[in-house]
Structure 1
């Protein structure tokens, strides 16, 4: 059995490298924030506390994204084992861009599947990739988050597309 595709591996290494760089930045900011708080000066304390809030938010957001990425990969592995991964067979321009009209036309069955069974993570996963192909990244991400929550068995009240 062969390992992951080189492109996927490259993407993983790039994400890890960027996360590591961000971690260094967060640590440096946190150290400076603690130094400001330690001065005891009112302005230093206020600035230090404000600077500590930023790294905490960044760490929470990065952790959230890594958890989503991990769960999306788990869902993809399950779908691949069942032969149900989304297939990107939409027509493209010579430059490689997806034909938006074709993407919108292919969108209907995925939306109908989710409307018929809003508790099925597989339907939400496929809908996310249909949104992505249609160019709606915000809804694609929301659909992936819904799929992830359902996949992990968390009760959600998904907003239907």
Structure 2
């Protein structure tokens, strides 16, 4: 719950920032000179990119949470079986062992979004965020019926 509050607080701050930057860009464009119009358009591009990124990140998180809820209802969420250090960090060897099992499961059932979801969690536990995100995107695409078979 704390992560959601933090996410929505930061998203709200970003939106306020985008509005402030957007109004400055609009004011520059209203000046009407070649230089201010050019700068105004450039300033407006940044909030547009930021809003696009925020929208896609929010949709990704929403869809991943829906998959997690569906998997939890089925009783298929991965069990936390990782060994942790006294400080609470995940032991690397433990994460690698769980990852190997999740990868084998995914190779056995490559068209099952559930195995891809569990693989994404294993990637995340192994601190490989880019691959975790790609695996979760593939799980979402499989669940939505729009995945392309490799």
- Does residue 93 of the first structure (1) align with residue 93 of the second (2)? no
Conserved? CA contact 2:29–2:41, under 8 Å: yes
1:141, CA displacement in angstroms?
A: 1.2
With 141-150 and 69-78 compared, the bigger mean Cα shift is at: 141-150
**Distance in 1 between residues matched to 2:127 and 2:147, nearest whole Å:** 28
Q: Which of 46, 56, 60 is the matching residue for 2:48?
A: 56
**Distance in 2 between residues matched to 1:72 and 1:111, nearest whole Å:** 19
- Deviation beyond 3 Å, 4+ runs, structure 1: none
- Name the residue aligned to 2:135: 143
The structure with more helix, counted as a fraction of residues? 2
1:15, CA displacement in angstroms?
A: 1.2
1:156, CA displacement in angstroms?
A: 3.0
Unaligned segments of structure 1, at least 5 residues: 1-7
**Distance in 1 between residues matched to 2:44 and 2:148, nearest whole Å:** 32
| Equivalence map 1:9-158=2 (5 Å) | 10-157=2-149
Unaligned segments of structure 2, at least 5 residues: none
Conserved? CA contact 1:37–1:49, under 8 Å: yes
Conserved? CA contact 1:128–1:144, under 8 Å: yes
Name the TM-score, length of structure 1 as normaliser.
0.88
1:157, CA displacement in angstroms?
A: 4.6
Across the aligned residues of Structure 1 and Structure 2, the Cα RMSD in angstroms comes to 1.3
**What count of residue pairs does the alignment treat as equivalent?**
150
